[in-house]
Homo-oligomer: A and B are copies of this chain.
Amino acid sequence: MSVSVLESSLAPRLPESSATLFEAKQAKNLTFAEIGNAVGRDEVAVAALFYGQAKASAEDIDALSTLLSVPKEPLAKQLAGFPDRGRSIEMPPKEPLIYRLYEIVQNYGLAYKAVLNEKFGDGIMSAISFSTKVEKEVDDQGTWAVITIRGKWLPYTRF
């Protein structure tokens, strides 16, 4: 099965590190799951890091440099600073796969809110103090993708 690569027309809206990392990934023919195993992070987090949406720790940089045979110093320089998140895609998303996720928010947003409020009170589920994962399930009805998102519940402060 193919590994994900960087669509060339996306590069100008991503940090320089994205091109560096994806090029090495394609050369090594590695999946994000394989990289995640080597780095000790979830594959979704690693993919986010490749797209400039997550911060790399010093250990991540070491591990990526070794695994991908990318010289460490320039990589560290490209990955310094703090991600400027959110600009990697335009909303509403045009990609059908990503649009389906957007559509779930659009169609079930109020339902999620109503249920979450009843279960937790007045507040939000954090998208920062947060983790997510993707799993595959196969049953007699076909193949299923399962996405789990887990975020801290933050109640509104009374002031």
Contact = CB atoms under 8 A, between A and B. Distances in A.
Contact of A33 (B86, B118, B144): B118
Given A94-B87, A111-B53, A2 B150 contact: no
Interface string A120-159: 1111111111111010110001111111111111111111
A4 B128 contact: no
A127 to B, nearest CB: 4
Interface residues of A, number: 110
Contact of A86 (B3, B12, B106, B125): B106
Interface of A: 1-10, 12-16, 26, 31-33, 41-45, 47-48, 50-55, 57, 77-78, 80-132, 134, 136-137, 141-159
When A and B form their complex, which 9 residue pairs have the shortest distance between CB atoms, in order from nearest?
A86-B94, A5-B81, A47-B111, A131-B159, A4-B114, A125-B145, A98-B109, A82-B117, A48-B111
